[in-house]
């Protein structure tokens, strides 16, 4: 058994004076599935880390945590290690050893488990998680999703009664994330293991959750079932409403008498019941997409492969990008979207076809003129750009002794002015992203390329990022981004291209693009497509609902 | 802290006893049973002299953070060559070992030196040179720890570079040349010693240059990074 | 692979190679040297087939060089073959010593070449796991990190190029500074993220008990047989004389015999189908 009881828990990091946790009271029963949400910095991670003594940060603690009635501090390291599993964000850094089998056995080895038990448990876990086929592989050959499953499996091998997951899917692509979360769900249902999870992808976890806990400034703002939590948030007029799943957001904006839908399926029937007659079933269409006549960037039949003997990654990709727009490229994982960005940056060179920038062949540009005031790319991992010990020094590195006033301006655009004196690694994920963006912007690019810019950041940081990008487009910058994030692209992109099997399949405006898709589209569209013809964003659906009521 | 030091000296005594008995015994056996078993004898002695370091490390039961940081540093030392792929023969590993020793102390310097060269031989192939390489990198890391981490010499660029250059030319290089001498020469004569050490000079000079350059450009930022890790996570405080 | 001698217990593997290499350096009798050189070359060729021929001949050539250089640097010996440079003698004895050293050099490198094929890092870690748990764990961690750091170094270089931070000019100095920056970014990234790995270790009970070892390998009947054969052969060697030579050959040919036997078994099994 593992019942957690948290009584008046408060916590203060040393030398900040701000309470990271403020009088938290919670009780969690065996077998429950609990979702913890909140903005970044609301104390989610701090709370979760208090549930396992070895991970608890140093600082002033008040209150008490009881595990099965015993103070957690008195539960031995050994018992905690096997009873309480903890999965962290980054799939890579949690892995310790170089082989899959060794990683699975790591926890049991640490506990000094005997060989027979160890063999059995490892075999069990490998079978349960379906990792027999890569049991002997090197860890470095796995994908991000496989790595995170391995982390979960290696914890499950210790037979925990509770698993704590701290944003486990933030670094995964949507399909791997779904896979992971359904495994978590399976563990909860089949083994009765308690799940305490903090997640951004609420659409996927809300249907499984027994309770949702909303954290705000270190306090528990709400603790309710997912179906009723929206009411409380409405009453509190909370920011967290913005990060609820689409069906819920639409439901609360429309003011319905029915009960709250959680999934797209429930949303569809809710919408059908809600609207008796439909007067208007579509929004005014955006203009038909037309290829720009003089594109800012153009890919003409670009073919690329990494090795002479390896398969083609780009197979005659064609793309035209219009000036001063935000152009998003959507597509599956590992298909070559990032490679396409790299060919635009001249990092990878196509063996056939050409890239043109402002009508001039890429190969005619000198490296120095290309990246000074012309092109720049924000890499997937912003940490790849931090060299110095403060953000400010890192930004200064970009200037080569030019006028330092540019820093102030850029820092303001990216909202990192208050972070200039901090160490880049002391920032949160979203802040690191913006600091890295500031660094990239100091190249004064006319063409800004972004590789998965919304990966791992929460909806509030996404909003900020969208505002920054909008500001850039208005000021003469053309933005090309590669992404998995359907919702973000639907909201903010001017044009969207679909990338598949080495080339661009189609390009259109968001509205037309998503209206023609049935699977690869936003939740709002999936929920409303049986009634509305081209409602893509939540706002579209809400608007049409209001018109028709 | 004090407790730890007492423990360390206890183990050191055990180590010394091993050395005092085993090394003379080996030397005697080698003298008694065979003519010119230079290589075998010397490798055994090298292994004995490395064992106490590993022994102490094991007995100390290193904490997770210490173990991870040491592993990361070794991996950086091994992988560092990848950043200089365009420059043939540029080997920054020794410089990184020196920086680690100077920042984290003699024990860490020895361990990372010995372990890094062992691991890099998994990539380039183990051979009769493995123990010698482990020993030479370990010893330089150890000396860097003794001289710089204890504050006998300041960790400024100039002394570090001088130390780096000299330790490759006078310690690590000759140790590796001795390995060549013992494996390739049937008898130790003045001529073949001179021949081997002189033929080793160009390689050692290039290695020394790489070490000095890396120390010149990389030592100070690396110290900052290590200091930050030491204070932020409280690991490996010498 | 996972056939023949490779499939034996790592302890057997390492016993054999330690024995072969140590004895190869200890015995300088010409017959012993020839046996060692032949056995090592045979086993290496069995492992690599044709692809190892290049390396084998390269080493043979190097060994010959070693043999012939020695007498130029060592003038002891009575039988002068010829003189050069102001009557410096080139003696037969020194040449023979040279051959001995060359042969030893050759067989040592050949044994190590096979050793590198058979003794994977995994086996090393297994052997060390019981003797030195902390070091063995450190070793597996490093082996995981090195490829990931190399990949990261490349992606950092690309990322820096895309913000105009490629080497400015064509000079070596710019390129060197750029490489140092890449190393610097890599170090920060690696060290800062190391703490997460440490947390993950602690969270899975590292340090809460004496570590045990997930045995990938079990001591099987064939392993025990091999150990007995090796011990018996060593006993023969110790008794000296011609018997010792036979023992030495038996010891060194063990993996080759196992290899050939395995191949034959498969050949027979196949022919029956």
Query: pLDDT digits over A280-305, tens only?
Result: 888 887 778 888 888 899 999 999 99
Show residues of chain B in contact with C112, CB under 8 Å.
125-128
Residue in chain A closest to C213 (alpha carbons) equals A109
SS3 for A400?
coil
**Among B138-142, B173-177, C65-69, C87-91, which stretch is predicted with the lowest mean pLDDT?**
C87-91
Residue A35: exposure state from Cβ atoms within 10 A (0-12, 13-18, ≥19): buried
Selection from A433, A334, A346 nearest residue A381 by Cα: A433
* C244 neighbors C234 (Cβ within 8 angstroms): no
Chain C stretch 216-245, residues whose beta carbon is closer than 8 A to a beta carbon of chain B: none
Residues C115 and C233 in one domain: yes
Query: pLDDT digits over C93-111, tens only?
Result: 888 888 988 999 999 999 9
Output the CA–CA distances (angstroms, integers) from residue A4 to A31, A34, A545, in the order listed: 11, 12, 43
Question: How confident is the model at residue B7, as a pLDDT?
Answer: 47
Q: What percent of chain A has pLDDT over 90?
A: 58
In a domain, A429, yes or no: yes
In a domain, A272, yes or no: no
A94 and C196 within 8 Å at the Cβ level: the answer is: yes
In a domain, C153, yes or no: yes
Task: Report chain A's C-alpha Rg in angstroms.
Answer: 25
Closest CA–CA distance from residue B152 to any residue of chain A (Å): 27
Closest CA–CA distance from residue B218 to any residue of chain A (Å): 12
Average per-residue pLDDT for chain B: 85
Residues C268 and C225 in one domain: yes
Write out the H or E segment, with its range, that includes residue A326.
strand A326-331
Residues C105 and C234 in one domain: yes
Q: What number is the average pLDDT over the span B6-29?
A: 67
Q: What number is the average pLDDT over the span A45-66?
A: 91
| Torsion sign, CA atoms C257, C258, C259, C260 | positive
The HSE-up count of residue A283 (CA atoms within 13 Å, CB side) is 22
Closest CA–CA distance from residue C228 to any residue of chain B (Å): 25
Query: pLDDT digits over C146-193, tens only?
Result: 999 999 999 999 999 888 887 766 788 888 888 999 999 999 999 999
Strands A478-483 and A84-87: unpaired
Selection from A361, A342, A345 nearest residue A353 by Cα: A361
**Among A11-15, A46-50, A488-492, C261-265, which stretch is predicted with the lowest mean pLDDT?**
A11-15
Question: How confident is the model at residue C3, as a pLDDT?
Answer: 61
pLDDT confidence tier of residue B11, bands split at 50, 70 and 90? low
Tokens 């969207």 label which residue?
A496
The HSE-up count of residue A249 (CA atoms within 13 Å, CB side) is 21
DSSP label of B167: I
Closest CA–CA distance from residue B146 to any residue of chain C (Å): 22
Residues C50 and C166 in one domain: no
Decide if C134 touches B, using CB distance below 8 A: yes
In a domain, C47, yes or no: yes
SS3 for C139?
helix
Query: pLDDT digits over A512-548, tens only?
Result: 898 888 888 999 999 998 899 889 999 999 999 988 8
ipTM at complex level:
0.89
Cα maximum dimension of chain A: 72
C180 and B217 within 8 Å at the Cβ level: the answer is: yes
B71 and C141 within 8 Å at the Cβ level: the answer is: yes
The whole-angstrom separation of Cα A433 and Cα C228 is 63
Show residues of chain A in contact with B122, CB under 8 Å.
none
The model's pTM: 0.91
Question: How confident is the model at residue B34, as a pLDDT?
Answer: 62
pLDDT confidence tier of residue B189, bands split at 50, 70 and 90? confident
* C46 neighbors C260 (Cβ within 8 angstroms): yes
Which of A241, A257, A287 is the last residue before a domain boundary?
A241
Query: pLDDT digits over A179-233, tens only?
Result: 999 999 999 999 999 999 998 888 889 999 999 999 998 999 999 999 899 888 8
Residues A77 and A199 in one domain: yes
Chain B stretch 201-230, residues whose beta carbon is closer than 8 A to a beta carbon of chain A: 224, 228
Decide if C57 touches B, using CB distance below 8 A: no
Task: Name, in order, each residue with C-beta under 8 angstroms of B226's C-beta and a sequence gap of 6 or more.
Answer: B99, B100, B103, B104, C191
Decide if A138 touches B, using CB distance below 8 A: no
Residue C239: exposure state from Cβ atoms within 10 A (0-12, 13-18, ≥19): exposed
Tokens 């954290």 label which residue?
A215
Nearest to B72 among C25, C74, C191 (CB): C191
Residue A294: exposure state from Cβ atoms within 10 A (0-12, 13-18, ≥19): exposed
| Position with higher pLDDT, B125 vs C39 | C39
Residues C46 and C150 in one domain: no
Residue B238: pLDDT over 50: no
Q: What number is the average pLDDT over the span C123-148?
A: 90
B186 and C101 within 8 Å at the Cβ level: the answer is: yes
Show residues of chain B in contact with C22, CB under 8 Å.
40
Query: Can you say how many angstroms the Cα of residue C93 is from the centroid of all Cα atoms in its chain?
Result: 32
**Among A227-241, B39-53, C158-172, which stretch is predicted with the lowest mean pLDDT?**
C158-172
Helix residue ranges per DSSP H, A321-366: 337-344
Residues A193 and A335 in one domain: no
* A498 neighbors A506 (Cβ within 8 angstroms): yes
Domain span at residue A86? 4-241
* A485 neighbors A477 (Cβ within 8 angstroms): no
Decide if C92 touches B, using CB distance below 8 A: no
Residues A62 and A186 in one domain: yes
Domain span at residue C169? 132-203
**Among B64-73, B118-127, C213-222, which stretch is predicted with the lowest mean pLDDT?**
C213-222
**Among A521-530, B80-89, B104-113, which stretch is predicted with the lowest mean pLDDT?**
B80-89
Nearest to C143 among A90, A98, A119 (CB): A98
Output the CA–CA distances (angstroms, integers) from residue B44 to A41, B24, B37, B163, in the order listed: 57, 11, 11, 28
Residues C96 and C166 in one domain: no
Residues C162 and C225 in one domain: no
Residues C23 and C81 in one domain: yes
Residues C158 and C238 in one domain: no
CATH code for the domain of A105: 3.40.50.300
Angle in degrees, CA A407, A15, A426, rounded to 5? 40
* A478 neighbors A446 (Cβ within 8 angstroms): yes
The whole-angstrom separation of Cα A317 and Cα A500 is 10
Decide if C145 touches B, using CB distance below 8 A: yes
In a domain, A522, yes or no: yes
The whole-angstrom separation of Cα B232 and Cα B194 is 51
* Number of Cβ within a 10 Å radius of residue B63: 17
Residues A226 and A335 in one domain: no
Residues A232 and A345 in one domain: no
Give the count of Cβ contacts less than 8 A between chain A and B.
3
**Encoded tokens for B67:** 């173990």
**Among A162-176, A378-392, B4-18, which stretch is predicted with the lowest mean pLDDT?**
B4-18
Q: Which residues of B108-117 are buried (b: 16+ CB within 10 A; e: fewer)?
A: bbbbbbbbbb
Show residues of chain A in contact with B224, CB under 8 Å.
389
- Please state the φ and ψ torsions of residue C150, each to the nearest 5 degrees: -65, -45
Question: How confident is the model at residue B4, as a pLDDT?
Answer: 42
The whole-angstrom separation of Cα A215 and Cα A19 is 13
A99 and C140 within 8 Å at the Cβ level: the answer is: yes
Show residues of chain C in contact with B75, CB under 8 Å.
141-142, 145-146, 149, 190
Q: What percent of chain C has pLDDT over 90?
A: 52
Residue C218: exposure state from Cβ atoms within 10 A (0-12, 13-18, ≥19): exposed
Decide if A398 touches C, using CB distance below 8 A: yes
Show residues of chain B in contact with C202, CB under 8 Å.
64
Question: How confident is the model at residue A363, as a pLDDT?
Answer: 86
The whole-angstrom separation of Cα B156 and Cα B148 is 9
C141 and A98 within 8 Å at the Cβ level: the answer is: yes
pLDDT confidence tier of residue B188, bands split at 50, 70 and 90? confident
Question: How confident is the model at residue C97, as a pLDDT?
Answer: 86
The whole-angstrom separation of Cα A243 and Cα A265 is 19
Chain C stretch 173-212, residues whose beta carbon is closer than 8 A to a beta carbon of chain B: 175-177, 179-180, 182-184, 186-188, 190-192, 194-195, 197-199, 201-202, 206-207
In a domain, C212, yes or no: no
Question: How confident is the model at residue C168, as a pLDDT?
Answer: 65
Question: How confident is the model at residue A401, as a pLDDT?
Answer: 67
Question: How confident is the model at residue B35, as a pLDDT?
Answer: 61
Selection from A249, A200, A93 nearest residue A430 by Cα: A200
Provide the Cα torsion A439, A442, A444, A449; round to 10°.
0
Provide the Cα torsion B134, B140, B141, B142; round to 10°.
100
**Encoded tokens for A358:** 């402002």
Output the CA–CA distances (angstroms, integers) from residue C269 to A465, B172, C222, in the order listed: 66, 54, 20
The whole-angstrom separation of Cα A117 and Cα A123 is 10
Break chain B into its structural domains and give their ranges: 1-61, 63-233
In a domain, C199, yes or no: yes
Total domains in chain A come to: 2
**Among A321-330, A429-438, C73-82, C87-96, which stretch is predicted with the lowest mean pLDDT?**
C73-82
Average per-residue pLDDT for chain A: 90
Decide if A102 touches B, using CB distance below 8 A: no
Selection from A427, B205, B193, A232 nearest residue C192 by Cα: A427
The whole-angstrom separation of Cα B110 and Cα B196 is 27
In a domain, A275, yes or no: no
Show residues of chain C in contact with B76, CB under 8 Å.
149, 183, 186-187, 190
Decide if C169 touches A, using CB distance below 8 A: no
pLDDT confidence tier of residue C1, bands split at 50, 70 and 90? very low
Residue B15: pLDDT over 80: no
SS3 sequence, A473-542? Answer: HHCCCEEEEEECCHHHHHHHCCEEEEEECCEEEEEECHHHHHHHCCCCCCHHHHHHCCCCCCCCCHHHHH
Output the CA–CA distances (angstroms, integers) from residue C147 to A139, A295, B78, B106, C63, in the order listed: 10, 40, 10, 27, 34
Q: Which chains touch B (3 or more CB pairs under 8 A)?
A: A, C
pLDDT confidence tier of residue A241, bands split at 50, 70 and 90? confident
Which of A215, A241, A267 is the last residue before a domain boundary?
A241
Question: How confident is the model at residue A334, as a pLDDT?
Answer: 76
pLDDT confidence tier of residue B232, bands split at 50, 70 and 90? confident
Angle in degrees, CA C58, C64, C68, rounded to 5? 145
pLDDT confidence tier of residue C139, bands split at 50, 70 and 90? very high
C214 and A101 within 8 Å at the Cβ level: the answer is: yes
Q: What number is the average pLDDT over the span A298-327?
A: 91
**Encoded tokens for A383:** 């940490």
Decide if C146 touches A, using CB distance below 8 A: no
* A249 neighbors A538 (Cβ within 8 angstroms): yes
Q: In what order do the strands lie in the sheet with A211-216?
A: A84-87, A162-166, A194-198, A33-37, A211-216, A219-224
**Encoded tokens for C13:** 């593997």
The whole-angstrom separation of Cα A483 and Cα A173 is 9
Q: What number is the average pLDDT over the span A327-343?
A: 88
Output the CA–CA distances (angstroms, integers) from residue A499 to A50, A315, A350, A363, A372, in the order listed: 43, 11, 17, 24, 29
Residue A375 β-bridge partners: A447
| Position with higher pLDDT, B223 vs B188 | B223
CATH class of B63-233: mainly alpha
SS3 sequence, A41-93? Answer: CCCHHHHHHHCCHHHCCCCEEEEEEEECCEEHHHCCHHHHHHHEEEECCCCCC
Closest CA–CA distance from residue A196 to any residue of chain B (Å): 25
Total domains in chain C come to: 2
The whole-angstrom separation of Cα C176 and Cα C174 is 5
Residues A382 and A517 in one domain: yes
**Encoded tokens for A384:** 């790849």
């Amino acid at each position: 058994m593992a019942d957690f009881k948290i009584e008046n828990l408060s916590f203060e990091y040393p030398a900040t004076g701000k309470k990271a946790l403020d009088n938290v009271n919670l009780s969690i029963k065996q077998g429950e599935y609990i979702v913890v949400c909140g903005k970044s910095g609301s104390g989610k991670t701090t709370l979760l880390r208090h549930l396992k003594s070895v991970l608890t940060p140093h600082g002033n603690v008040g209150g008490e945590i009881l595990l099965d009635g015993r103070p957690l501090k008195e539960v031995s390291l050994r018992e905690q290690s096997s009873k309480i599993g903890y999965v962290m964000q980054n799939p890579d850094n949690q892995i310790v050893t170089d082989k899959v089998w060794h990683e699975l056995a790591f926890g049991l080895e640490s506990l000094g488990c005997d060989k027979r038990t160890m063999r059995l448990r490892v075999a069990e876990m490998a079978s349960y998680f379906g990792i027999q086929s890569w049991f002997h592989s090197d860890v470095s050959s796995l994908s991000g999703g496989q790595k995170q499953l391995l982390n979960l499996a290696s914890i499950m091998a210790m037979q925990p009664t509770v698993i704590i997951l701290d944003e486990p899917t933030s670094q995964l692509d949507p399909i791997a994330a779904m896979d992971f979360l359904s495994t978590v769900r399976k563990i909860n249902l089949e083994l009765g293991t308690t799940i305490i999870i903090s997640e951004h992808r609420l659409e996927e976890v809300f249907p499984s959750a027994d309770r949702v806990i909303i954290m705000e400034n270190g306090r528990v703002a709400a603790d309710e079932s997912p179906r009723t939590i929206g009411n409380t948030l409405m009453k509190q007029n909370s920011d967290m409403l913005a990060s609820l799943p689409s069906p819920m957001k639409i439901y609360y904006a429309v003011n319905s008498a029915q009960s709250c839908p959680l999934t797209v399926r429930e949303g569809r029937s809710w919408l059908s019941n809600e609207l008796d007659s439909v007067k208007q079933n579509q929004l005014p269409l955006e203009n038909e997409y037309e290829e720009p006549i003089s594109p800012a960037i153009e890919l003409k039949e670009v073919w690329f492969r990494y090795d002479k003997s390896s398969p083609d990654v780009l197979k005659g990709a064609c793309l035209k990008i219009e000036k001063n727009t935000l152009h998003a490229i959507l597509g599956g994982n590992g298909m070559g979207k990032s490679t396409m960005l790299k060919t635009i940056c001249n990092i990878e060179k196509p063996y056939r076809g050409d890239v043109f920038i402002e009508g001039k062949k890429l190969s005619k540009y000198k490296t120095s003129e290309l990246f000074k005031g012309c092109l720049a790319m924000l890499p997937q991992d912003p940490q790849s750009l931090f060299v110095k010990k403060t953000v400010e020094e890192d930004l200064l590195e970009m200037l080569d002794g030019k006028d330092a006033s540019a820093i102030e301006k850029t820092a303001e655009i990216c909202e990192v002015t208050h972070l200039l004196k901090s160490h880049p690694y002391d920032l949160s994920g979203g802040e690191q992203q913006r600091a890295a963006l500031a660094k990239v912007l100091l190249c004064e690019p006319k063409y800004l390329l972004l590789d998965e810019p919304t990966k791992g950041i929460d909806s509030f940081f996404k909003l900020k990022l969208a505002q920054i990008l909008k500001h850039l487009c208005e000021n003469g910058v053309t933005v090309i981004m590669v992404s998995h994030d359907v919702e973000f692209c639907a909201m903010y992109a001017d044009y969207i291209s679909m990338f598949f099997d080495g080339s661009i399949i189609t390009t259109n405006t968001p509205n037309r693009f998503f209206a023609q898709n049935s699977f690869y589209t936003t939740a709002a569209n999936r929920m409303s497509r049986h009634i509305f013809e081209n409602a893509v964003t939540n706002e579209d659906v809400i608007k049409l609902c209001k018109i028709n009521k | 802290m004090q407790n730890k030091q007492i423990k360390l000296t206890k183990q050191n005594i055990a180590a010394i006893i091993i050395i005092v008995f085993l090394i003379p015994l080996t030397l005697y056996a080698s003298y008694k049973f065979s003519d010119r078993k230079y290589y075998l004898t010397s490798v055994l002695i090298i292994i004995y002299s490395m064992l106490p370091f590993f022994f102490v490390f094991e007995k100390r039961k290193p904490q997770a953070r210490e173990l991870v940081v040491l592993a990361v540093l070794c991996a950086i030392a091994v992988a560092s060559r990848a950043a200089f792929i365009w420059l043939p023969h540029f080997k920054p590993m020794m410089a990184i070992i020196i920086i680690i020793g100077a920042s984290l102390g003699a024990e860490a310097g020895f361990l990372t030196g010995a372990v890094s060269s062992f691991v890099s031989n998994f990539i380039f192939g183990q051979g009769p040179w493995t123990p010698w390489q482990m020993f030479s990198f370990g010893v330089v890391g150890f000396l860097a720890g003794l001289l710089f981490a204890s504050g006998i010499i300041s960790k400024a660029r100039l002394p570090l570079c001088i130390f780096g250059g000299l330790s490759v030319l006078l310690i690590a290089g000759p140790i590796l040349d001795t390995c060549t001498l013992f494996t390739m020469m049937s008898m130790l004569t003045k001529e073949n010693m001179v021949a081997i050490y002189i033929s080793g000079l160009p390689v050692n000079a290039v290695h020394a240059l790489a070490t000095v350059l890396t120390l010149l450009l990389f030592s100070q930022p690396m110290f900052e990074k290590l200091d930050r890790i030491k204070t932020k996570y409280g690991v490996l405080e010498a | 692979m996972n056939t023949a001698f490779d499939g034996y217990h790592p302890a057997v593997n390492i016993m054999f190679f330690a024995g072969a290499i140590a004895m190869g350096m200890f015995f300088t009798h010409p017959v012993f040297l020839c046996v060692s050189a032949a056995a090592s070359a045979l086993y290496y060729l069995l492992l690599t087939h044709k692809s190892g021929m290049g390396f084998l001949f390269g080493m043979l050539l190097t060994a010959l060089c070693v043999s012939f250089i020695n007498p130029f640097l060592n003038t002891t010996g009575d039988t002068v073959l010829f003189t050069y440079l102001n009557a410096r003698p080139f003696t037969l004895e020194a040449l023979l010593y040279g051959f001995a050293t060359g042969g030893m050099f050759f067989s040592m490198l050949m044994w190590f070449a096979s050793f590198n094929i058979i003794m994977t890092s995994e086996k090393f870690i297994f052997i060390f796991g019981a003797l030195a748990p902390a070091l063995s764990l450190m070793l597996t961690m490093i082996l995981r990190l090195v490829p990931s750091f190399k990949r990261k170094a490349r992606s950092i270089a690309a990322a820096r190029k895309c913000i105009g931070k490629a080497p400015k000019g064509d000079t070596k100095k710019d390129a060197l500074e750029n490489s140092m920056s890449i190393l610097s970014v890599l170090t920060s990234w690696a060290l800062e993220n190391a703490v997460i790995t440490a947390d993950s270790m602690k969270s899975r009970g590292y340090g809460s008990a004496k570590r045990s070892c997930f045995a990938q390998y079990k001591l099987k009947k064939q392993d025990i047989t091999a150990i007995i054969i090796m011990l018996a052969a060593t006993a023969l060697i110790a008794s000296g004389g011609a018997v010792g030579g036979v023992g030495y050959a038996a010891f060194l040919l063990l993996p080759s015999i196992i290899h050939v036997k395995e191949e034959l078994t498969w050949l027979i099994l196949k022919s029956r189908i």
